[in-house]
């Protein structure tokens, strides 16, 4: 009987067995353990409480300050200091600091630190992002992360897998964000609860890596445990020059057993928008009231990569327009490498002249931490991944999730807009 990607990668990491099937409980070896400035402090405390003195492998524990970086207040500074001191004390190989890192889910794939065939656990729900490069990657809480840091292992229930097949040519202004929003709108925020999501089909093979990372990033928004893009030429071209160590890609068997299969025809699909207050409250842009917008946020681990900023730059350059004077526009590159690339392209100047505030890489407003928190009744278009009540600030603020082109058009026109309206 054929195996899914989740089954194959888990089997390759399982301690007591060579073959696993959905539903099995197994102890697995982990390749990388990650945590951020919110989850690492508790993980470090639990690690110490476990009575352990050394992490399982200093090459493979990565602590990235991202959420409140640069430290927004004394308390967040204390949290980051915990990470810094622990990284020094444990002599961790890979160190991450403001100005030299960014958001973990942009930085780790970009630096070839998470690789095809890896099993990664991260103290952040969006750890599932790394499935775009073919890793089994899943989010966990701090104490689970402490256990993995201490032992290099964790326990897992082998997930069932849902298969999502995309075909047809993408229309203009349709990106990975739209494919995943459409998918979450279809299955709901608990539609993939506890399961793996495999994305495949001709339209996926035609998708650039940045869009693939956007899609696997939002697997958790359907409740998924992990998500996978197929390993193909696009993956290889992205991973090979970056890989920091040898890796083995895995492929799903043709006769693998799936929980369910969904198909999407992209030839008629418009850009999609998730309306307040849930990532599954998804509608095509043409069916959404062109509400006035107070803030636009372009960035995050969902859409803060070079290709995402290229969409913004392209629209500004093609139209010669500036951002609407009544809209606060926050553009936040997902990593310092993205920031530098954008700078070299002249985009930081372009964005600034158009009226945007361009900042150092951080999660910032996505989780309502800082750098653009919303007031009551304010409306924001955001390229991030969650629009729960209170997520970006006041509980009565309203967030629409959309791709960078919709966000840019909305920032220019001061209301929810399609780029064709420019």
Partner 1 sequence: MKLQGRVWKYGDNIDTDVIIPARYLVTTDPKALAAHCMEDLDQTFAKEVQPGDIIVGGSNFGCGSSREHAPISIKGAGVSCIIAESFARIFFRNAINIGLPILECPPAARDAQKGDVLSVDLAAGTITNHRTGQTYQASPYPPVVLAIINAGGLVPYARNVLGVQMKG
DSSP codes, 18-51: S---TT-EEEEE-SEEEEETTTHHHHHHHHHHTT
Which pair of structure tokens corresponds to residue 360? Answer: 């150092």
Q: Which residue has the tokens 């890979």?
A: 94
Q: Which stretch binds partner 1 (CB under 8 A): 206-214, 265-273, 343-351, 364-372?
A: 364-372
Distance separating alpha carbons of residues 130 and 31, to the nearest angstrom: 12
Total count of residues recorded for the chain? 422
41 makes contact with partner 1 (CB under 8 A)? yes
Q: Is 101 helix (H, G, I), strand (E, B) or coil?
A: coil
- Residue 131 CB, shortest distance to partner 1, in Å, is 15
Q: Which one of residues 11, 150, 274, 282 is an interface residue with partner 1 (CB under 8 A)? A: 150
CA 313 vs CA 31, 342, 404: distances in Å? 37, 9, 10
346 makes contact with partner 1 (CB under 8 A)? no
Q: Which one of residues 49, 91, 343, 353 is an interface residue with partner 1 (CB under 8 A)? A: 49
Q: Which one of residues 56, 167, 264, 388 is an interface residue with partner 1 (CB under 8 A)? A: 388
Q: Which one of residues 278, 302, 359, 361 is an interface residue with partner 1 (CB under 8 A)? A: 278
Q: How many residues bind partner 1 (CB under 8 A)?
A: 52
- Residue 133 CB, shortest distance to partner 1, in Å, is 20
Distance separating alpha carbons of residues 384 and 401, to the nearest angstrom: 6
Q: Which one of residues 1, 18, 51, 233 is an interface residue with partner 1 (CB under 8 A)? A: 51
Q: Which stretch binds partner 1 (CB under 8 A): 123-131, 170-178, 257-265, 344-352?
A: 123-131
Which of 123/271 has CB closer to partner 1? Answer: 123
Q: Which one of residues 16, 73, 254, 268 is an interface residue with partner 1 (CB under 8 A)? A: 73
- Residue 47 CB, shortest distance to partner 1, in Å, is 9
146 makes contact with partner 1 (CB under 8 A)? yes
Q: Mark residues 236-275: x for contact with partner 1 by CB under 8 A, - for none.
A: ----------------------------------------
* Beta-strand relationship, 32-36 and 61-64: parallel
Residues 214-233 binding partner 1 (CB under 8 A) are 220, 223, 225
Distance separating alpha carbons of residues 144 and 153, to the nearest angstrom: 10
17 makes contact with partner 1 (CB under 8 A)? no
Q: Is 411 helix (H, G, I), strand (E, B) or coil?
A: helix
- Residue 6 CB, shortest distance to partner 1, in Å, is 13
Q: Which one of residues 2, 15, 91, 155 is an interface residue with partner 1 (CB under 8 A)? A: 155
Identify the bridge partners of residue 283 per DSSP, sorted by sequence position.
273
Q: Taking the alpha carbons of 74, 80, 86, 88 in that order, is the dihedral positive or negative?
A: negative
**Nearest one of 302, 121, 131 to 218, comparing CA atoms:** 302
Torsion, Cα 6 115 118 3, to 10 degrees, reads: 30
Q: Determine contact, residues 417/323, Cβ cutoff 8 Å.
A: no
Q: Which one of residues 108, 120, 140, 413 is an interface residue with partner 1 (CB under 8 A)? A: 140
Please, what is the end-to-end C-alpha distance for the chain in angstroms?
53
Q: Which stretch binds partner 1 (CB under 8 A): 42-50, 91-99, 234-242, 332-340?
A: 42-50
Q: What is the DSSP letter of 245?
A: S
Identify the bridge partners of residue 374 per DSSP, sorted by sequence position.
393
**Contact set with partner 1 (CB under 8 A):** 25, 38-39, 41-42, 45-46, 49-52, 67-68, 73, 75-76, 79, 122-125, 127, 139-144, 146-147, 150-151, 155, 157, 189-190, 193-194, 220, 223, 225, 278, 367-369, 373, 386, 388-391, 395
């Amino acid at each position: 009987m054929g195996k899914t990607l989740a089954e194959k990668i888990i089997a390759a990491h399982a301690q007591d067995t060579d073959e696993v099937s959905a539903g099995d409980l197994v102890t697995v070896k982990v390749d990388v353990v990650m945590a951020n400035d919110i989850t690492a402090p508790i993980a470090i405390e639990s690690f110490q409480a476990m009575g352990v003195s050394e992490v399982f492998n200093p090459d493979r524990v990565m602590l990235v300050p991202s959420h409140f970086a640069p430290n927004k207040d004394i308390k967040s500074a204390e949290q980051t200091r915990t990470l810094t001191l622990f990284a020094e004390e444990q002599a961790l190989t890979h160190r991450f600091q403001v100005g030299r890192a960014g958001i973990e889910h942009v930085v780790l794939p970009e630096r070839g630190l998470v690789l095809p065939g890896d099993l990664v656990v991260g103290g952040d729900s969006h750890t599932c992002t790394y499935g775009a490069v073919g890793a089994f990657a899943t989010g966990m809480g701090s104490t689970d992360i402490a256990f993995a840091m201490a032992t290099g292992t964790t326990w897992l229930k082998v997930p069932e897998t849902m298969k999502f097949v995309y075909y047809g040519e993408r229309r203009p202004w349709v990106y990975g964000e739209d494919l995943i929003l459409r998918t979450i709108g279809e299955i709901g925020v608990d539609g993939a609860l506890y399961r793996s999501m495999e994305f495949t089909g001709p339209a996926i093979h035609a998708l650039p890596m940045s869009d693939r990372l956007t899609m696997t990033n939002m697997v958790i928004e359907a409740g998924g445990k992990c998500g996978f893009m197929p390993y193909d030429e696009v993956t290889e071209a992205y991973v090979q020059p970056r890989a920091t160590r040898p890796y083995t890609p895995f492929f799903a068997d043709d006769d693998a057993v799936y929980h369910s299969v969904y198909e999407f025809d992209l030839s008629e699909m418009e850009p999609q928008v998730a309306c307040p207050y849930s990532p599954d409250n998804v509608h095509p842009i043409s069916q959404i009231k062109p509400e006035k917008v107070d803030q636009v946020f372009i960035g995050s681990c969902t859409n803060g990569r070079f290709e995402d900023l290229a969409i913004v730059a392209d629209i500004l350059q093609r139209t010669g327009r500036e951002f609407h004077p009544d809209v606060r526009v926050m553009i936040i590159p997902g990593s310092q490498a993205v920031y530098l690339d954008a700078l070299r392209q002249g985009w930081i100047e372009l964005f600034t002249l158009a009226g945007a505030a361009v900042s150092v890489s951080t999660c910032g407003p996505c989780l309502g931490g800082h750098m653009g928190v919303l007031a009551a009744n304010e409306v924001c278009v955001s390229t991030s991944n969650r629009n729960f009540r209170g997520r970006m600030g006041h509980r009565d603020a309203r967030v629409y999730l959309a791709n960078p082109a919709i966000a840019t058009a909305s920032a220019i026109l001061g209301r929810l807009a399609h780029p064709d309206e420019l």
